[in-house]
């Protein structure tokens, strides 16, 4: 059973990667890169690596990724510090409000910001125009950075706050008794100690921001700001003309290098050195700083952020869903309020199909991913073989491979392999399982590592065969982690736009790709209605997830 799991993993990860790499250097003038009649060529590689266009795209990708990363970290660190280390009022509520937007798909965040900040009738721009005579164009790099950062804050905050919370306060006390002032303690002790966790989160979010297509599609394309992910998408799904998979694959390879670089550097700097090996000992919760007269002003600033980043976007979506055509907020528009969008959107087969597909996708992907992850994690943790590291690497790889690259590879693979899944929902299932299996393996690895081997050995000594040990001992003990992980994957799967888009065909439409479709087609009211529906679904799941686990400081 474990061997089957390992085989599936190898197939899921290695197959597409192989196709991706070869598609970059094989070409067929009339068909798919690897089909019969293709030949070796460096043409794609030359086109990509030598054209100045590539480096322009790379430049904007880096500015976009690093800019949003910086902004998201500044915001997340500030919130983490305020909530974990100060006596700011209503800390628990602030925590919930900062994390809550994790239930909103990034695509929808981007759409709502387009409604708020587009240069012609964005609501905020209407206000700015009326009062200060300035406008802020969302269809620009700064606009993309801002929105991407808002989208990344919830997860970044969760990652940072977890490590800040588990830090041993005695290490700071020791610096204080050595004569260090508060600022010096933060600089010389707190930040250096958080460095590994911060770097880990930074790299994780870096991969997220270079791979995602949501914000670049909604805000970047209108003003022709391409980044790598949208370039890959456009070459595989051009608005007109034939797809150029070879070129797309080469760009994909380029993006893979971009994501792998920092990851390997990180691994070498921290993973191996043991520099940050955790020290044992009793942990004392750090003291909270008394903010004094800054307590209320800082709370107001924090709430201001919550309103702007969470509440305003939701309100504008609801507003847009009630308008026959979107034209900002005004008295005239208020008079036009109608439920037309809500009643017409259900017409045709695509919406019911998308909802059905979304739920099917989420449930199947989460179950498959977690079952596979449990088996792989168990092998990794328990096996005594020398070759376990290969498995570890295989399970870790998807974490470093941008989703858009996985999408492309899976697309290429099933265009070639004569399996009848191209164009069905199952191709998205396969791609998403590949994407999420590293997350699942990490979660289950942690759970299984905590499980003492003697539990299994005791069952074996009591005469239980392996199968019964699994069902009677192992599974019951790791069930909480399993359920938690399944919910996380379910959420991520339903929110994911990249893979449904890369692998889209009429038959496998899901909510996220349908919303993009309607928005791209110029139907903001329908896009808004669907967004509200989808947020209702995902926020419900997110609430269940956070409520059920309480402390899911995962990833």
Partner 1 sequence: MTTAIEVRNLHHRYASAGDHPPAVGDVSFDVEENQFFTLLGPSGCGKTTTLRCIAGLEKPDGGQIKLRDVVVVSPRAFVPTHRRDIGMVFQDYAVWPHMTVFENVAFPLRMQSRRRLRTGAIRDKVMAMLELIGMAQFEKRRATQLSGGQQQRLSLARALVREPEVLLLDEPLSSLDARLRAQMRTELRRIQRRLKVTTVFVTHDQIEALSLSNEIAVMQDGNIVQQGRPRDLYFRPRSEFVGNLVGAANVIAGAIDSVGDVNENGERRLKIQTEMGILVCDDTSDQVWTTGASCSVLIRPESILMHHSDTADRENVFAGRVDLGLFIGESVEHEVAVGPIELKVKVPTSVRFRREDKAYIEIPSANCVVFEG
Tokens of 65: 């990724």
Give the C-alpha separation, 8 to 195, whole Å: 36
Task: Say whether residue 287 binds partner 1 (CB under 8 A).
Answer: yes
Name the residue nearer to partner 1 (CB basis): 287 or 472.
287
Task: Say whether residue 279 binds partner 1 (CB under 8 A).
Answer: yes
Helix-helix angle 245-266:228-236, to 10 degrees: 150
Task: Say whether residue 177 binds partner 1 (CB under 8 A).
Answer: yes
Helix-helix angle 425-450:350-382, to 10 degrees: 30
Tokens of 285: 């919760």
Task: Say whether residue 539 binds partner 1 (CB under 8 A).
Answer: no
Output the CA angle 313-315-321, nearest 5 degrees.
105
In the complex, the smallest distance separating the C-beta of residue 549 from partner 1, rounded to whole angstroms, is 24
Helices of type H across 417-474: 425-450, 453-461, 466-469
Helices of type H across 465-553: 466-469, 475-495, 498-502, 511-520, 524-549
Q: Can you list the positions of beta strands (E) in 186-332?
A: none
Name the residue nearer to partner 1 (CB basis): 72 or 185.
185
Give the C-alpha separation, 475 to 418, whole Å: 37
Task: Say whether residue 277 binds partner 1 (CB under 8 A).
Answer: yes
Task: Say whether residue 275 binds partner 1 (CB under 8 A).
Answer: yes
Name the residue nearer to partner 1 (CB basis): 129 or 173.
173
Task: Say whether residue 180 binds partner 1 (CB under 8 A).
Answer: yes
Name the residue nearer to partner 1 (CB basis): 120 or 178.
178
Task: Say whether residue 179 binds partner 1 (CB under 8 A).
Answer: yes
Q: Applying CB under 8 A, what is the total number of residues that bind partner 1?
A: 28
In the complex, the smallest distance separating the C-beta of residue 77 from partner 1, rounded to whole angstroms, is 18
Give the C-alpha separation, 501 to 74, whole Å: 31
Query: Which residues, listed in sequence order, are joined to residue 26 by a DSSP beta bridge?
Result: 40
Stretch of residues binding partner 1 (CB under 8 A), selected from 69-77, 94-102, 185-193, 435-443: 185-193
Give the C-alpha separation, 193 to 174, whole Å: 14
| Binding to partner 1, residues 302-331 (CB under 8 A) | none
Dihedral of CA atoms 144, 147, 149, 153 in degrees, nearest 10, equals: -160
Q: Any idea how long the chain is?
A: 555
Work out which of 173, 353, 382, 421 binds partner 1, going by CB under 8 A: 173
Give the C-alpha separation, 309 to 344, whole Å: 30
Stretch of residues binding partner 1 (CB under 8 A), selected from 37-45, 62-70, 274-282, 429-437: 274-282
Stretch of residues binding partner 1 (CB under 8 A), selected from 25-33, 165-173, 243-251, 369-377: 165-173
Work out which of 35, 51, 166, 178 binds partner 1, going by CB under 8 A: 178
Q: Residue for token digits 């590592």?
A: 449
Work out which of 274, 418, 506, 547 binds partner 1, going by CB under 8 A: 274
Query: Which residues, listed in sequence order, are joined to residue 39 by a DSSP beta bridge?
Result: 27
Work out which of 30, 133, 272, 282 binds partner 1, going by CB under 8 A: 282
One symbol per residue from 391 to 420: x for binding partner 1 (CB under 8 A), - otherwise; what is it?
A: ------------------------------
Work out which of 155, 189, 207, 210 binds partner 1, going by CB under 8 A: 189
In the complex, the smallest distance separating the C-beta of residue 329 from partner 1, rounded to whole angstroms, is 46
Task: Say whether residue 292 binds partner 1 (CB under 8 A).
Answer: no
Task: Say whether residue 295 binds partner 1 (CB under 8 A).
Answer: no
Look at the alpha carbons of 340, 342, 345, 346 in this order and tell me if their dihedral is positive or negative.
Answer: negative
In the complex, the smallest distance separating the C-beta of residue 170 from partner 1, rounded to whole angstroms, is 4
Q: Which H or E run contains 211?
A: helix 191-211
Name the residue nearer to partner 1 (CB basis): 4 or 191.
191
Strand-pair category, 26-27 with 39-40: antiparallel
Name the residue nearer to partner 1 (CB basis): 140 or 168.
168
Task: Say whether residue 181 binds partner 1 (CB under 8 A).
Answer: yes
Query: Which residues, listed in sequence order, are joined to residue 40 by a DSSP beta bridge?
Result: 26
Residues 486/365, Cβ–Cβ less than 8 Å: no
Work out which of 188, 295, 336, 356 binds partner 1, going by CB under 8 A: 188
Stretch of residues binding partner 1 (CB under 8 A), selected from 115-123, 184-192, 489-497, 521-529: 184-192
Binding site for partner 1 (CB under 8 A): 168, 170-171, 173-181, 184, 188-189, 192-193, 195, 274-282, 287
């Amino acid at each position: 059973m474990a061997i089957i799991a390992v085989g599936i993993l190898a197939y899921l990860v290695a197959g597409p990667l192989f196709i991706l790499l070869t598609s970059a250097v094989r070409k067929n003038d009339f068909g798919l890169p690897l089909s019969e009649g293709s030949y070796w060529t460096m043409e794609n590689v030359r086109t990509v690596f030598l054209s100045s266009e590539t480096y322009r795209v790379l430049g904007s990708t880096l500015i976009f990724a690093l800019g949003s990363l910086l902004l998201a970290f500044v915001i997340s660190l500030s919130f983490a510090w305020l909530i974990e280390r100060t006596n700011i009022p209503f800390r628990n509520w602030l925590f919930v409000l900062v994390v809550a937007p994790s239930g909103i798909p990034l695509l929808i965040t981007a759409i709502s910001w387009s409604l708020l900040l587009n240069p012609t009738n964005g609501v905020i721009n209407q206000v700015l125009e009326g009062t200060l005579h300035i406008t802020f164009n969302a269809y620009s790099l700064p606009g993309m950075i801002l929105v991407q950062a808002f989208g990344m804050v919830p997860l970044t905050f969760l990652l940072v706050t977890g490590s800040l919370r588990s830090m041993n306060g005695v290490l700071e006390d020791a610096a204080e008794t050595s004569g260090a002032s508060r600022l010096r303690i933060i600089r010389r002790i707190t930040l250096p100690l958080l460095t590994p966790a911060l770097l880990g989160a930074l790299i994780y979010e870096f991969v997220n921001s270079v791979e995602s297509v949501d914000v670049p599609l909604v805000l970047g394309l209108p003003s022709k700001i391409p980044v790598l992910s949208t370039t890959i998408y456009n070459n595989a799904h051009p608005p007109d003309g034939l797809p150029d998979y070879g070129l797309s694959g080469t760009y994909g390879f380029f993006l893979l290098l971009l994501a792998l670089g920092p990851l390997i550097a990180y691994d070498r700097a921290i993973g191996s050195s043991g520099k940050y090996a955790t020290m044992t000992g009793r942990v004392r919760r750090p003291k909270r700083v008394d903010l004094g007269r800054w307590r209320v002003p800082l709370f107001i600033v924090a709430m201001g952020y919550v309103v702007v980043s969470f509440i305003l976007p939701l309100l504008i979506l609801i507003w847009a869903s009630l308008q026959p055509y979107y034209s900002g907020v005004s008295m005239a528009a208020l008079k036009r309020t109608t439920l037309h969008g809500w009643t017409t959107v259900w017409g045709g087969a695509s919406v019911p199909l998308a909802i059905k597909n979304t739920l099917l996708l989420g449930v199947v992907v989460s179950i498959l991913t977690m079952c596979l992850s449990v088996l792989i994690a168990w092998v990794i943790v328990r096996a005594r073989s020398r070759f376990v590291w290969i498995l570890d690497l295989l399970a870790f790889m998807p974490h470093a491979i941008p989703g858009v690259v996985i999408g492309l590879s899976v697309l290429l693979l099933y265009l070639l392999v004569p399996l009848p899944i191209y164009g069905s929902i199952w191709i998205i299932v396969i791609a998403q399982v590949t994407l999420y299996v590293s997350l699942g393996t990490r979660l289950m690895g942690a759970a299984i590592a905590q499980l003492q081997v003697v539990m299994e050995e005791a069952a074996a000594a009591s005469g239980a065969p392996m199968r019964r040990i699994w069902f009677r001992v192992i599974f019951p003990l790791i069930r909480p982690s399993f359920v938690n992980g399944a919910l996380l994957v379910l959420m991520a799967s339903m929110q994911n736009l990249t893979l449904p888009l890369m692998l889209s065909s009429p038959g496998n439409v899901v909510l996220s790709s349908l919303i993009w479709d309607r928005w791209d087609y110029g139907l903001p009211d329908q896009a808004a209605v669907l967004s509200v529906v989808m947020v209702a679904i995902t926020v419900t799941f997110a609430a269940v997830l956070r409520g059920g686990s309480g402390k899911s400081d995962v990833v």
